Structure 1
Amino acid sequence: MGQSKQRFIDGVHIKSSIVAGAIIFQLILAVLNLNMIISPVQAGTEDGSFCCTCPDYANFDAWLAKKAQICDNAGNIITPASKPSNGNGGKDAPAEKAIEYAEPQLIFSAGSKTDGTVIIDVRTPEEYAKGHLQGARNLNWMDTQSKGNLNPALMELALRKIGVNNSDHLLIYGGSDDMSSYIFWALSYLGHKNLTKIDGGIDQAINAGQPMVKSVPNLKESNYTSHVVPSLLVTENQLGKWLNRTDIQILDARDFSEYGLAKLTNAALPLDAPKLYQDNFKINDAKTLGDILGRRLDKTKTQLVYGTPGAYSLFYALELMGYNVTLLEGSWWKDTKWAISIVR
């Protein structure tokens, strides 16, 4: 009896060992199978090489960073032979070219050479006399206006006095205000073709090391003749026609607080000009301007800007970025039926 019991116990132990061994074996197989399943996800391919189109969700950030380094936009691994050639012995291609202004000929870096241009200083005679760029001619912006707005006849007379010709390439600068942009718009309205503005005005020219002089150039009066471009100015008798068009956007260049008190129709969008410029009155780079303007503006439409003097600088920025733009000068629009005002 005792021997039978012992044989029974020994048999149970043997069977238990066999079962335990079988369970362990099955667990090992399961782990191996799991690794086979997981490995392709981590490595991306069965052979362990990186896969540009197989996200590693277990370590997604690292996978994404590596993808950016070695994969092209089509999801292929970039090999040395497939890298774009830059004529530099197979080395890495240079960084992407910076975004440029749509009309780069309209802007001039203060430290560049001024050869081949007629330099126009639009500040007051008193400011001009204290120091100006070599060869600059003084076109006092106040001599071109009557009742606060452009007078084309006075503008033409002022240009003749300082010897400007229709064919001249004019390089315009002013102080830390909107007046160089005003002269830029006024000359555009008069039909002058070759116009460039010094970015940042006289202060940036000084910072760039441009010498200041007090000598006045000898000038011979010209026979300058304007060729007005009517589409660049919205007049009182044309405003209604402009507002009836479906291909315009109306931009208010004034401070937002002024916009809140009165605006030209409910369709007017606030876009105060200082947002487009830096504190030193240099205009923002093309990417920044593109981001600001592109959020709300339709480049297929004409931009009607108002709210002078800021509207002059907004006009220039839009021209620089390739927009079609016209300008409403002055504040007479507030007395029209299209003005929306909260002040009664």
Structure 2
Amino acid sequence: MKQTEYLVDSEWLSHQQDNPQIVIIDCRFQLANPNWGEEQYHKNHIPGAYYLSLDRDLSSQVQRHGGRHPLPDIEVLAQKFTEMGIVKNETLVVAYDDSRFAFAARLWWLLRYLGHDKVALLDGGWNGWIDRNYPITNAIPEPKSGSFTPQPNPDWLVDIDTVKAAKNNDSVVVVDSRDSDRYTGLREPIDPIAGSITGALNSPWKKVSDESGYLQSLEKQQKLWKNYQEAEEIIVYCGSGVTACVNLLSLELSGFKNTKLYPGGWSDWCSYLV
């Protein structure tokens, strides 16, 4: 049974069901079927868990540029946190999905970006919870009264112009978090153009966990980034600023403090090429 700064396991969480200082959030989602996650949530979820949709809650409306999942309206999201009973920097938020942290890590990053560090991911996610036969329910929790005043960290973000400038700066490393075949342009299932940002290195986000959705050991996390030690700044991107957050989690656990997210990702970058 374990709880670390940014990770908890199912056994630990199963003993916290009546803890008023913990809010659980279900982040299950499928890019190809945006309603699927919420439908699954209404069928069954961890008792007490609220639901946040990647498209509706953790992103804002798609524009011509800015990528497929622009960052959400800060005040709107903060109000949702408040109605879940989250008290900023007091409540521990535990996020889970069933996609190897792909969507829960977006919430993890957003909360920290808004100044709330008390957030952890459920190791093994929904599937790990189910495998251990812990309780599930279809009961939707009532709104609560919290207090969440967002304090965003603008230094954690970069835009397309900053990424373009990075190619002229040897101390800045740009990391593409997508699968290798998307990085090389052999496959592109979502965006209109295949390829990657010139000069970017590839570290696929799926390497952060095993196939069952459990985080790899700290030793393996650090090994992923051993060639990045000299970088003064690491800019991380993916298709639309979602799975890049899994790599940002790994970098954080590995001790890196010089990381930034390019939230528009390849979907923003290639929107200027169409």
- Normalising by structure 1, report the TM-score: 0.61
Counterparts of 1:288 and 1:270, CA distance in 2: 16
- 1:315 equivalent in alignment to 2:248: yes
Counterparts of 1:242 and 1:187, CA distance in 2: 27
Q: 1:237 to 1:222 in 2, by over 3 A?
A: farther
Counterparts of 1:129 and 1:299, CA distance in 2: 47
Question: Stretches of 4+ moved more than 6 A in 1?
Answer: none
What residue number does 1:306 align with? 237
Percent identity of paired positions between Structure 1 and Structure 2: 23
Counterparts of 1:204 and 1:196, CA distance in 2: 15
| Higher fraction of helix | 1
CA positional deviation for 1:284: 0.9
- 1:136 equivalent in alignment to 2:58: no
Structure with larger Rg:
1
User: Does the 8 Å contact 1:272/1:310 carry over to 2?
Assistant: no
CA positional deviation for 1:215: 2.0
CA positional deviation for 1:184: 1.0
What are the equivalent positions in structure 2 for 1:232-251 lying under 5 Å apart? 232-240=156-164, 245-251=169-175
Q: 1:125 to 1:221 in 2, by over 3 A?
A: farther
Counterparts of 1:251 and 1:210, CA distance in 2: 37
What residue number does 1:30 align with? none
What are the equivalent positions in structure 2 for 1:55-134 lying under 5 Å apart? 104-112=4-12, 113-114=15-16, 115=19, 116-123=21-28, 124-134=37-47
What residue number does 2:105 align with? 181
1:205 aligned to 129, 132, 154, which one? 129
What residue number does 1:152 align with? 73
Cα-to-partner distance string for 1:220-251 (whole Å, 9 max, x where unaligned): 24442210011222123544565555543211
Counterparts of 1:248 and 1:109, CA distance in 2: 35
Give the CA RMSD over aligned residues: 2.5
Counterparts of 1:174 and 1:199, CA distance in 2: 10
User: Does the 8 Å contact 1:122/1:173 carry over to 2?
Assistant: yes
CA positional deviation for 1:282: 1.4
1:165 aligned to 87, 97, 117, which one? 87
SS of aligned partner of 1:143: coil
User: Which structure 2 residue ranges, 5 or more long, are not aligned?
Assistant: 29-36, 63-68, 186-194
Q: 1:335 to 1:106 in 2, by over 3 A?
A: same
Higher relative contact order (CA 8 A, sep 6+): 2
